[in-house]
Structure formats: structure tokens, C-alpha cells
A and B are shown apart, each in its own frame.
Chain A
Amino acid sequence: MVLTPTRRARLQSTLAALGTLLLWWHTGTRAAAILATTAATLTLLAWLTPRLYAPVHQFLERVRHALLAGLTWIVLALLFVVLIIPIRLWRYITGTDPLHLQPDPDAKTFLEPLPPPRSDRFDRQF
């Protein structure tokens, strides 16, 4: 089922209000109370006048997008640091140069034989 923007906004705001109310009930702190009241007010707005709530929804969407983008960057950076850089170090230590970046002035040719074709090659992704 595809939700219309208005319905999605109502659903999201309602869930947020329920969540923050739960948090308030569970912790009883002043901050949670403020959060829950704000969420409940916004939910009321979403249900009563979706047009007035639309800018709020847009803003929240942008925040969500930015957070997800940030998360992606963090994960990509982590992958780079824990996966790519260590293999680079290992290759540096073992002197592996798969891209032939080091100069080889004495070579007669840089053409390499290509592997003979396998009969099942069209069935494989490599």
C-alpha cells in the first residue's frame, strides 16, 4: 500500500507522539514532558490542518535525510579504515603492485597475454 504524503505525515507524527509519551511515562523527566507535549501538539496539527503541518513535515524529512546521509558517510568511512587501509598496508609490506604503478623502464612490452576463453564464460559474471 502506498501512503499519500498527508497520511504518511499523520502516521509518522502519531508514532512520534506515542513514542515520546511512552518515554515521558517511563522516565518522568521534564525534558521528556516537553518533547511529548511538542510531539502531541504537532500530531494534532497534522490531523486537523495538514496544510499547516506540511512545512514541519518537510523540515523533519530533511533532518531525517541528513541523518541517514551522515550515517552512510560514517559507515563508508569505517569500511575504508578497517577494511581497505589494512589490506593496503599488507600489500605495501609484501610489495604487491597490481596496478603496476611502479615504473618499469627496462620492460620490452607492457602487453600481457589474455587468458584463453572458457566455454562457459557467458554464464559467469567474471
Chain B
Amino acid sequence: MRALRNLGRLLRELWAFAREHKAWWIIPVVVILLAAALLLVGVSSISPFIYSLF
């Protein structure tokens, strides 16, 4: 429930941002990235592993 509320806030602010800055491109980009992040939910623990490569 909280996750949905946070997602709602993020999308609302993203919409307002895109409208104000005329940066409509950011909406599909962030939505696709968030969808991809859902795919990667199970691998969140490997983030430190990725960072250690740089």
C-alpha cells in the first residue's frame, strides 16, 4: 500500500516536472526504467557487486 502511495507521488511529480520543463521525454524513459527495476527486484542485493567493478 505504501509502495503504491510512493509510486503515485513519484509519477505525479514526474508529470508536473515534465509539464513545467517541457521535458516530456522523461516520462516514458522513467516508466520503462521503473518497469526494468521491477524485473531486477530480486537482484537488488547485487548493487554493491556492480559498484565494486568501478
Task: Please report A residues at the B interface, Cβ cutoff 8 Å.
Answer: 65, 68-69, 71-73, 75, 79, 83, 87, 124-126
- Per the CB 8 Å criterion, the residue count for chain B at the interface is 18
CA distance A65 to B20 in the complex (A): 42
Residues A68 and B16 in contact in the complex (CB < 8 Å), given A79-B36, A83-B29? no
Contact A124 B39 (CB under 8 A): no
**Contact check: which of B17, B20, B32, B50 meets A69 at CB < 8 Å?**
B50
Minimum CB–CB distance for B27 against chain A, Å: 13
Contact between chains at A124 and B16 (CB < 8 Å): yes
CA distance A73 to B54 in the complex (A): 14
Chain B residues lying within 8 Å of A68, measured Cβ to Cβ, are 42-43, 45-46
> Sorted from nearest, which 5 A-B pairs have the closest CB atoms?
A68-B43, A126-B17, A69-B46, A125-B13, A72-B43
Given A79-B32, A83-B32, A124-B13, decide whether A65 and B46 contact each other with a Cβ distance below 8 A. yes
A65 touches B40 (CB 8 A): no
Q: Which of B17, B20, B43 lies at the interface centre, i.e. has the most chain A CB atoms within 10 A of its CB?
A: B43
